Amino acid sequence: MFRKFNNLDTAFRQVRNFCLLIVAIFAGICLYSVYRNGQISKDSNQRIYLLAPGAVLQAVASTRGENLQVEAQQHVESFHRYFFTLDPDEKVIREQLSRALYLADASARRSYETLLEKGYYRDIIAANISQRISVDSIVMEMGSHPYRFTFHGSQQIIRSSVETTRRLVTMGQLREVTRSANNPHGFLIEGWRTTDNSELRTIERR
């Protein structure tokens, strides 16, 4: 009789230990799943999606850290192209400058307002002037945030009879901000200023 009770007690302990083992395994699986979901969510938040030209649905994922300097340079280049690429059309000028001003702080707006007060954009329309820029280099200092940059390029001012080329050197710094449709790289140019805009040459157009 006692042996029977001992056998039942042993069997009960074995079943209990087995159940505890199963519970521990499932608890471990649940904790691991929560951890992995957190890691995946964190990784997804750090990823950006670059759309290939001409293929809206084709995207390449990469972490922001891997592309930080490239994105910073692209942001600086985009701002300068929007700000300095102009044609004798009020709507085009307004659209280009609107895009540029989303990428920079009040320092860029002050430069725009100064040119506006001087009648610069009015003269572009009146004289049928087109303006383009060429990028020579964008030097980034990524050692500390905000990131300092120096833009080196040239500015082409195209009139009906002549084309003038001017050196274009600007400086500023980049602060990281939230990405948006108007600011896809997630940077804001601060303290932007032109340090050299001297004339290089003027040639006649034929």
pLDDT digits (tens, 9 = 90+) for 74-106: 999 999 999 999 999 999 999 999 999 999 999
Confidence band for 53, pLDDT divided at 50, 70 and 90: very low
- Tell me which CATH homologous superfamily contains domain 66-204: VirB8 protein (3.10.450.230)
Give the Cα separation of 42 and 36 in Å (integer).
Answer: 10
Give the Cα separation of 194 and 166 in Å (integer).
Answer: 12
User: Long-range contacts made by residues 178-184, C-beta under 8 angstroms, separation at least 24?
Assistant: 179/48, 182/99, 182/102, 183/102, 183/103
Between residues 41 and 115, the one the model is more confident about: 115
- Summarised one tens digit per residue, pLDDT across range 117-159 is 999 999 999 999 999 999 999 999 999 999 999 999 999 999 9
Give the Cα separation of 96 and 111 in Å (integer).
Answer: 14
Structure token pair of residue 164: 């003038």
- In DSSP terms, 173 is beta-bridged to 148, 190
Average pLDDT, the chain: 84
Between residues 31 and 102, the one the model is more confident about: 102
pTM of the model: 0.70
- Report the first-to-last Cα separation within the chain, whole angstroms: 118
